[in-house]
Amino acid sequence: MNIGIDIDDTITNSSDIFVKYAKIYNKIHNIDHSINTDELDQSKAFGWTQKNQKEFALQYLKIILQEALPKENVIEAIKKLKELGCNIIFITARKDTEVDGMYALTKQWLDDNNIEFDKLVVNCDNKLQECINNNIKLFIDDNYFTCKQVHDSKKIEVLLYKTNYNKNYKNLEFEIVENWNEIIEKVRRKL
């Protein structure tokens, strides 16, 4: 079975690190905004304009991604998925340019954290198309809208990884998971 997995906030704690640096950024730039970790939209979460978002990303994004830690049990869970015969394909919207080197940074992070995988796709603006291209049978992501798009294709099963900013979604047509042990159990039942 080919499993497509998002990276940020699905296998990493990148939001926690993001918030840490957002507080620093807001203090430096005198942005008086009560940070709302239940909000995905950066203008609502941090009080940022488009300019702030771009400036923040240029200054802190690489640091955040390097400091992020694997979520609890994710290393063992992915190893177990591999033992069960699954192919792991990471599909992320992280933008890769010659300047950023996001592919290399992400691959290095995965290698440094001993996270096994078969393929890494960065710069993905259309995860549904990437799932189709890679014959994904199960897709795991923390973004409700991405999960809905992939699920609505009716070809791909989806698990929404629960986070602060998607916790209020209820009665979905796809399942919500809270940890990697739960994911392993759901995959075992499907095999």
Domain ranges of the chain: 2-13+70-190, 14-67
> What confidence score (pLDDT) does residue 29 get?
97
> What confidence score (pLDDT) does residue 98 get?
56
> What confidence score (pLDDT) does residue 163 get?
92
Dig out the tokens for 19 from the structure.
């918030």
Under DSSP, is residue 50 helix (H, G, I), strand (E, B) or coil? helix
> What confidence score (pLDDT) does residue 97 get?
62
Task: Say which residues have a Cβ less than 8 Å from residue 144's Cβ, sequence separation at least 6.
Answer: 160, 166, 169, 172
Asked: is 2-13+70-190 a CATH 3.40.50.1000 domain? The reply is yes
- pLDDT tens, residue order, the chain (191 aa): 999 999 999 999 999 999 999 999 999 999 999 999 999 899 999 999 999 999 999 999 999 999 999 999 999 999 999 999 999 999 999 886 655 688 999 999 999 999 999 999 999 999 999 999 999 999 999 999 999 999 998 889 999 999 988 888 887 889 999 999 999 999 999 88
Query: Are the CB atoms for 161 and 141 separated by under 8 Å?
Result: yes
Buried b (16+ CB within 10 A) or exposed e, 42-71: beebbbbeeebeeebeeebbeebbebbebb
